[in-house]
């Protein structure tokens, strides 16, 4: 397993596709990043998927 994985997502604010990195070493399961397109804060949550080669991430609006 690589220490960092790139994961695609769709911005929950503007609908634009983007890519984020998941730190596979860190135990953080939730973090916030600003959308590169609309600059709105996106909450990323790692979804438990032990068999998945690429981590599953859900992108939701901050505050919901």
Binding site for Zn ion (CB under 5 A): 11, 13-14, 35, 37-38
Tell me which DSSP letter residue 51 carries: T
Of the candidates 64, 42, 46, 43, the one whose C-alpha atom is nearest the C-alpha of residue 56 is 46
CB of 40 to Zn ion, least distance (A): 5
* 37 or 47: CB nearest Zn ion: 37
**Pair 8, 30: CB distance under 8 Å:** no
* 12 or 55: CB nearest Zn ion: 12
CB of 63 to Zn ion, least distance (A): 15
Q: In terms of DSSP bridges, do strands 30-34 and 4-10 run parallel, antiparallel, or are they unpaired?
A: unpaired
* 3 or 8: CB nearest Zn ion: 8
């Amino acid at each position: 397993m690589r220490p960092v994985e790139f994961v695609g997502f769709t911005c929950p604010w503007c609908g634009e596709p983007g890519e984020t990195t998941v730190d596979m070493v860190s135990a953080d399961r939730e973090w916030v990043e600003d959308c590169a397109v609309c600059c709105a804060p996106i909450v990323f949550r790692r979804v438990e998927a032990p068999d998945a080669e690429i981590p599953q991430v859900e992108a939701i609006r901050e505050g919901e």
